[in-house]
Amino acid sequence: MTYNNKVLRVNLSTKQISTEELNQKYVQDYIGGRGLGTRMLLDEIDPKINPLSEENKLLFVTGPATGVKISTGTRYMVITKSPLNNFVTSSNSGGIWGSMLKYAGYDIAIVEGKSETPVYIEITETEVKLHDATNLWGKVSTEVEELLKEKHENASVLNIGPGGENLSNMAAIMNDGDRAAGRSGVGAVMGSKNLKAIVCSTTQKTMAVKDEKFKEYAIETAKKIKANPISGEGLPTYGTAVLVNILNSIAGLPTKNWNLSEFDRAEDISGEELAEKHLKKRSFCHNCTIGCGRVVEVDGKIVGGPEYETIWGFGASSDVSNLEFINKANYLCNEMGLDTISTSSTIAAAMELYDKGIITDEMCNGTPLKFGNNEAITQWVENIGRGNCELAKILAKGSYEACEHFGVPEYSMTAKKLEMPAYDARAIQGIGLNYATSNRGGCHVRGYTIASEVLAPPEAIVDRTTVEGKAELVKVYQDLTAAIDSLGMCLFTSFALGADDYAGILSFLFERNVTAEEVLTIGERIYSLERYFNQLTGMEENGDTLPKRVLTEKITHKASEGMVSRLPEMLPEYYEVRGWEKGFPTKETLTRLGII
């Protein structure tokens, strides 16, 4: 087993620190990361609690591959109840922090209670301590990291920025510079506990795999990833930003807060442009052999560069075509500890409200939220992070609450209050079904059907415009993703690896035969568990839907002309293949999957 069999529990109210053993049945049934964490959280909290109350808990959960010498074996998941939508959420990140937690001797860190004053946690192989963090409160993410690295040797730092301190529903948890557990407000939960950072300070090592043949297997896996043209060449060369031109060419690039689906200046914000004029070098997470990370220069500093979704949100969706400003907005999001997708989308929604005269110049603190205003995307990231004016505080709640505040929730392009990313759900039917049924809300990385509907080679491409077969397609993607998210590896490996490969890896890590079928069943179990959790939080029946704009306003661009999301046609079949009724797993499904 590549687990330490040790769970760390830190109670910030009582200052009590304790350890316990991993529940091995849960490990076998849910693997680790997202699955294991969600199952444990269900035991840990009453699903109906207020997410920002002392009763909520933060679970930092590694997977069996985290810290193992296998490509991308480093990821951890944050599992908690989301303040954005009250549902269970899990948000995942790379870097090295997850591996360092494991190297320090822990598989999971559970943080509960609430400190009266700001604190940070120091984890080493020999002790776990709470330290005063009053002097760190208010500081931006990289400054916190630098200060803590000066104080603690061999440290990896996870922290929140001002966004988390100010309880923004868009607050991320940052680690190792620009890596982020970004979505659904996990940083606000950390802020609500007055927890500024967790430092893992230990020597780097490797989680040993018992079977010696694993070393060869891991090399072969890395070769497979390298041989795949996407993970071996496309992602390393262009990062994810190369998608800008692709999505634009099919009129699937939501523009001006989804009023349009094509951006006339897409070339100016493309991955090709980023690579040619802005890219300084690429970056790798610990154990990664892909290296999709971009490194750019902002105001003379070498910093992390934007992902495709970030470029889209601050670019096409905000009608901005200046990559320098987009790079800076991305950097400021990381400094403020804000999710780039939600923050950029909320700014784009605010721009639409400005356009319609709902947000006025008087509210804008000197920087008009006008579509195409370069300064607006950078200044408003800071405003939102700092909560430095009335409108900034409203926008910090995310686009749904902000638009609802102004009486126009229909301008929030969200599913379950989470901002949908850069793939138009009208132009690509499967991804719309995925957004609507995603347990944490509008998210592409819960079921990335784009790989089949847009990026597949000619012989394998699935027609993006039809609804036939999309229920099954979405389910398979969602289930496999849930398993990968639980393993501790990066989803990008799935361009090259399939369920058989993950089963092979898991067989080594679990020291027993694991089949591809079992991997997919575990994924299905996790997906229905999350939905069951949401039901227990009080989620309403038939709550899987999309914004009115996506369901009724037709695309006018030639490539996808006349298209709207045909979600109502796909949803019944989706529920049928999942064994759900009115949006919830039936008792038979919960029993079949061993959830109850």
Q: Minimal distance in Å, beta carbon 234 to another protein?
A: 3
Per the document, the length of the chain is: 596
Name which position in 249, 513, 542, 552 contacts another protein (CB under 8 A): 249
* Residue with smaller CB distance to another protein, 214 or 308: 308
Q: Is 250 in the site for another protein (CB under 8 A)?
A: yes
Pairing of strands 119-123, 108-112: unpaired
Burial of 362 (0-12, 13-18, 19+ CB in 10 A): exposed
In degrees, to the nearest 5, what angle opens at C-alpha 162 toward C-alphas 159 and 163?
90
In the numeric block, which tokens belong to residue 445? 């990385």
d(CA 596, CA 590): 6
Where in 478-507 is the site for another protein (CB under 8 A)?
491-492, 495
Instruction: Kindly indicate which of the ranges 149-157, 248-256, 279-287, 328-336 contains the residues binding another protein, using the contact rule CB under 8 A.
Output: 248-256
In the numeric block, which tokens belong to residue 8? 């760390």
* Residue with smaller CB distance to another protein, 29 or 424: 424
Instruction: Kindly indicate which of the ranges 91-99, 350-358, 369-377, 557-565 contains the residues binding another protein, using the contact rule CB under 8 A.
Output: 557-565
d(CA 536, CA 87): 9
* Residue with smaller CB distance to another protein, 81 or 444: 444
Name which position in 2, 38, 240, 379 contacts another protein (CB under 8 A): 240
Q: Is 73 in the site for another protein (CB under 8 A)?
A: no
Q: Minimal distance in Å, beta carbon 456 to another protein?
A: 8
Q: Minimal distance in Å, beta carbon 230 to another protein?
A: 4
Instruction: Kindly indicate which of the ranges 132-140, 142-150, 241-249, 367-375 contains the residues binding another protein, using the contact rule CB under 8 A.
Output: 241-249
In the numeric block, which tokens belong to residue 291? 């290296």
* Residue with smaller CB distance to another protein, 162 or 234: 234
* Residue with smaller CB distance to another protein, 240 or 343: 240
Where in 202-231 is the site for another protein (CB under 8 A)?
228-231
Name which position in 389, 559, 581, 592 contacts another protein (CB under 8 A): 559
- Size of interface with another protein, in residues (CB under 8 A): 46
Q: Is 357 in the site for another protein (CB under 8 A)?
A: no
Helix (H) or strand (E) holding 197: strand 195-201
Instruction: Kindly indicate which of the ranges 1-9, 131-139, 316-324, 449-457 contains the residues binding another protein, using the contact rule CB under 8 A.
Output: 449-457
Instruction: Kindly indicate which of the ranges 13-21, 163-171, 249-257, 298-306 contains the residues binding another protein, using the contact rule CB under 8 A.
Output: 249-257
Pairing of strands 155-159, 173-175: antiparallel
The per-residue DSSP string of 215-252 comes to HHHHHHHHHHHHHSHIIIIIHHHHGGGGHHHHHHHTT-
In the numeric block, which tokens belong to residue 518? 């079992």
Torsions phi, psi for 150 (to 5 deg): -65, -35
**Is 459 within 8 Å of 565 (Cβ atoms)?**
no
* Residue with smaller CB distance to another protein, 89 or 481: 481
Instruction: Kindly indicate which of the ranges 117-125, 244-252, 373-381, 410-418 contains the residues binding another protein, using the contact rule CB under 8 A.
Output: 244-252
Name which position in 30, 106, 120, 448 contacts another protein (CB under 8 A): 448
* Residue with smaller CB distance to another protein, 142 or 560: 560
Instruction: Kindly indicate which of the ranges 75-83, 216-224, 246-254, 317-325 contains the residues binding another protein, using the contact rule CB under 8 A.
Output: 246-254
User: Which of 23, 7, 155, 3 has the alpha carbon at shortest distance from 65?
Assistant: 3
d(CA 133, CA 143): 13
Name which position in 357, 558, 562, 572 contacts another protein (CB under 8 A): 558
* Residue with smaller CB distance to another protein, 238 or 380: 238
Where in 285-304 is the site for another protein (CB under 8 A)?
292
d(CA 294, CA 281): 6
Q: Is 243 in the site for another protein (CB under 8 A)?
A: yes
Say which residues have a Cβ less than 8 Å from residue 194's Cβ, sequence separation at least 6. 12, 114, 115, 116, 117, 118, 119, 133
Q: Minimal distance in Å, beta carbon 309 to another protein?
A: 8
CA atoms within a 13 Å half-sphere pointing along the CA-CB vector of 593: 26
- 460: Cα separation from own chain's centroid: 27
* Residue with smaller CB distance to another protein, 118 or 442: 442
Q: Minimal distance in Å, beta carbon 492 to another protein?
A: 7
Q: Minimal distance in Å, beta carbon 251 to another protein?
A: 6
Pairing of strands 179-181, 293-298: unpaired
Q: Minimal distance in Å, beta carbon 444 to another protein?
A: 6
Q: Minimal distance in Å, beta carbon 84 to another protein?
A: 21
**Is 453 within 8 Å of 470 (Cβ atoms)?**
no
d(CA 275, CA 294): 9
Q: Minimal distance in Å, beta carbon 491 to another protein?
A: 7
Q: Minimal distance in Å, beta carbon 266 to another protein?
A: 11
* Residue with smaller CB distance to another protein, 358 or 491: 491
Q: State the helix-helix crossing angle for 567-578 and 429-437, rounded to 10 degrees.
A: 60
The site map against another protein for 304-343 (x = CB under 8 A) is ---xx-----------------------------------
With b for 16 or more beta-carbon neighbours within 10 A and e for fewer, the 350-361 pattern comes to bbbbbbeeebee
Where in 450-479 is the site for another protein (CB under 8 A)?
450-451, 454-455, 457-459, 461, 463-465
Q: Minimal distance in Å, beta carbon 463 to another protein?
A: 8
Q: Is 562 in the site for another protein (CB under 8 A)?
A: no
Give the count of beta carbons closer than 10 Å to the beta carbon of residue 408. Answer: 15
Tell me the CA distances in angstroms from 507 to 295, 518, 524, one per residue in order. 36, 11, 19
* Residue with smaller CB distance to another protein, 157 or 225: 225
Say which residues have a Cβ less than 8 Å from residue 28's Cβ, sequence separation at least 6. 510
User: Which of 391, 328, 327 has the alpha carbon at shortest distance from 359?
Assistant: 391
Pairing of strands 108-112, 7-11: parallel
First to last CA, the chain: 26
Can you give the binding site for another protein, defined by CB under 8 A?
228-231, 233-235, 237-243, 245-246, 249-251, 267, 271-272, 292, 307-308, 444-445, 448, 450-451, 454-455, 457-459, 461, 463-465, 491-492, 495, 557-560
